[in-house]
Chains A and B, each alone.
Chain A
Amino acid sequence: GEDVEQSLFLSVREGDSSVINCTYTDSSSTYLYWYKQEPGAGLQLLTYIFSNMDMKQDQRLTVLLNKKDKHLSLRIADTQTGDSAIYFCAESPTGNQFYFGTGTSLTVIP
């Protein structure tokens, strides 16, 4: 599979912005995704971006893509305690196979 890397942990204070970063290796990746996993549950699709886009905003979520550096980030504005979870970055070169990062565990401190 492809290599997708994320930092393992992030802590932020409630109300602050969170920025979760991801790097990927396949420059041909067409689709890039962010998923959220709460304890003991499956993954929930948060948002995705096509490789021909630089930015996508969806309510409190902003995705930035730097294709040159193969860097993807997810910014969560006004982070809430309910945002505490593991966030996975994923890439899909073809739209059929998906390759996931190791996940970033976000802890929101009240």
Chain B
Amino acid sequence: SQTIHQWPATLVQPVGSPLSLECTVEGTSNPNLYWYRQAAGRGLQLLFYSVGIGQISSEVPQNLSASRPQDRQFILSSKKLLLSDSGFYLCAWKGHPSSYEQYFGPGTRLTVT
């Protein structure tokens, strides 16, 4: 069966520090991968998605970036965090290409201080 992992589960970082959040998927190959952010009291915002290694589509221009160095690994990064980057970051995967179902990881709670 497929599982999706995210780490760390929680993170407290100062403004201006770098960020690296990691997501890995097991039990599937060539998935679509996604990064979302959920700000407090708000819905999910699609940040990036990837349909293959090295293929990243950005939905929202900001100081975040994403990379997919391996088929089942998706990384969200920032060189300098802003206060507004605080939120709940969710990784998700979808079978590719004909699946319609998207599944989410447990999330990372990021607090920028």
Contacts and interface: CB of A to CB of B under 8 A. Distances in A.
Interface of A: 1, 4, 6, 31, 33, 35, 40-45, 48, 50, 88, 90, 92, 95-103
Contact of A1 (B46, B105, B106): B46
Contact of A97 (B46, B106, B109): B46
A102 B43 contact: yes
A88 B90 contact: no
B104 A44 contact: yes
B44 A41 contact: no
A1 B59 CA distance: 7
Contacts of A97: 46, 49, 57, 59
Contacts of B100: 31, 48, 50, 92, 95
B29 interface: no
B28 interface: no
A41 B105 CA distance: 8
14 contacts: A1-B45, A31-B100, A35-B104, A40-B109, A41-B106, A41-B107, A42-B104, A42-B105, A43-B44, A88-B44, A95-B97, A95-B100, A97-B59, A100-B43
A98 B35 CA distance: 11
Q: Which 4 A-B pairs have the closest CB atoms?
A: A42-B104, A102-B43, A100-B44, A43-B104
A95 B96 CA distance: 10
Given A43-B90, A97-B49, 20 more contacts: A6-B43, A33-B102, A35-B104, A41-B106, A42-B92, A45-B101, A88-B44, A95-B97, A96-B32, A96-B51, A96-B94, A97-B57, A98-B46, A98-B102, A100-B36, A100-B44, A100-B46, A102-B43, A103-B43, A103-B44
* Residue of A42, A50, A103 with highest tally of chain B CB at under 10 A: A42
A71 to B, nearest CB: 18
